[in-house]
């Protein structure tokens, strides 16, 4: 195990020095296996990291459709070192692009941020629509619940399908980055501007 190997592994994964040392020791200095070792370890640890404080990070921007749509997004991490990491910066760009390119565009980050009155109003509409089908009441409730879940996936950024990889949700994308980088990452807030929006 050399200092150079630790440095290379750290650059590849964003993991801490001690984690890189352990990974190289466990894999007899094989860099490729060490990367896999850290990724496996990281995925298991990603959930544990979600409670840690995130006070560093960056504000990213993305301009879309020839200057007709613009997004500002703040994504937080634990250290300034990670905020300057290319993996983290790529994630911020991807998230800004997601907000710009999604249709419908997200209005919230997490489902728990959606005001109950909005969900209640949607549920009323879905129940009224389902009643038109003359189905039994317990079936109507299930239909409405399914539509509520779909609605939340559309309007909550973390639940959306990643536009660059339809096999991933944004939640899964962020979890992967937490695993790879080794720090908690939180989407703090975003603003989307569309040309002409809000005009009478």
- Reported for 121-127, long-range contacts at CB under 8 A and 24+ positions apart, including other chains, are 122/147, 122/148, 122/151, 123/148
pLDDT > 70: percent of the chain: 88
For residue 43, the model assigns a pLDDT of 47
- Residue 23: is its pLDDT beyond 70? yes
- Check whether residue 142 and residue 161 sit in a common domain: no
- Distance CA(93)–CA(166), nearest Å, equals 17
Q: Is residue 93 part of a domain?
A: yes
CATH of the domain at 32: 1.10.8.10
Q: Is residue 199 part of a domain?
A: no
- Check whether residue 83 and residue 180 sit in a common domain: yes
Q: Which residue range is the domain that position 12 belongs to?
A: 3-49
44 vs 45, residue with greater confidence: 45
- Check whether residue 79 and residue 164 sit in a common domain: yes
pLDDT band at 110 (very low <50, low <70, confident <90, very high): very high
Q: What is the pLDDT of residues 46-62, one digit of tens each?
A: 555 555 667 799 999 99
**Residue length of the chain:** 200
Residue 165, SS3?
Answer: coil
- Check whether residue 27 and residue 43 sit in a common domain: yes
- Check whether residue 41 and residue 9 sit in a common domain: yes
Residue 73, SS3?
Answer: strand
Please count the structural domains in the chain.
3
- Distance CA(162)–CA(106), nearest Å, equals 12
- Check whether residue 149 and residue 183 sit in a common domain: no
- Distance CA(75)–CA(49), nearest Å, equals 15
The H or E element that residue 41 is part of is helix 31-49
Q: What is the pLDDT of residues 133-164, one digit of tens each?
A: 888 888 888 899 999 999 999 999 999 999 99
Q: Is residue 200 part of a domain?
A: no
DSSP states of 119-160 as a string?
Answer: HHHHHHHHHHHHHTTT--HHHHHHHHHHHHHHHHHHHBGGGS
């Amino acid at each position: 195990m050399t200092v150079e190997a630790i440095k290379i592994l750290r650059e590849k994964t964003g993991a801490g020095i001690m984690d890189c040392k352990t990974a190289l020791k466990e894999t007899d200095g094989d860099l490729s296996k060490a990367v896999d070792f850290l990724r496996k370890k990281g995925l298991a640890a990603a959930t544990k990291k979600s409670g840690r404080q995130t006070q560093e990070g960056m504000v990213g921007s993305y301009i879309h459709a020839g200057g007709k749509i613009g997004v500002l997004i703040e994504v937080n991490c634990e250290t300034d070192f990670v905020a300057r990491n290319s993996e983290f910066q790529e994630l911020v760009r991807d998230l800004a692009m997601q907000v710009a390119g999604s249709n419908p565009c997200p209005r919230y980050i997490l489902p728990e941020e959606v005001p109950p009155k909005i969900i209640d109003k949607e549920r009323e509409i879905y129940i009224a629509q389902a009643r038109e089908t003359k189905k039994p009441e317990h079936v109507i409730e299930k239909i409405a619940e399914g539509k509520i879940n779909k609605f939340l996936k559309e309007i909550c950024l973390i639940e959306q399908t990643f536009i660059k990889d339809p096999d991933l949700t944004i939640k899964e994308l962020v979890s992967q980055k937490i695993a790879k980088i080794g720090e908690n990452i939180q989407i703090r807030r975003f603003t989307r501007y569309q040309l002409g929006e809000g005009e009478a």
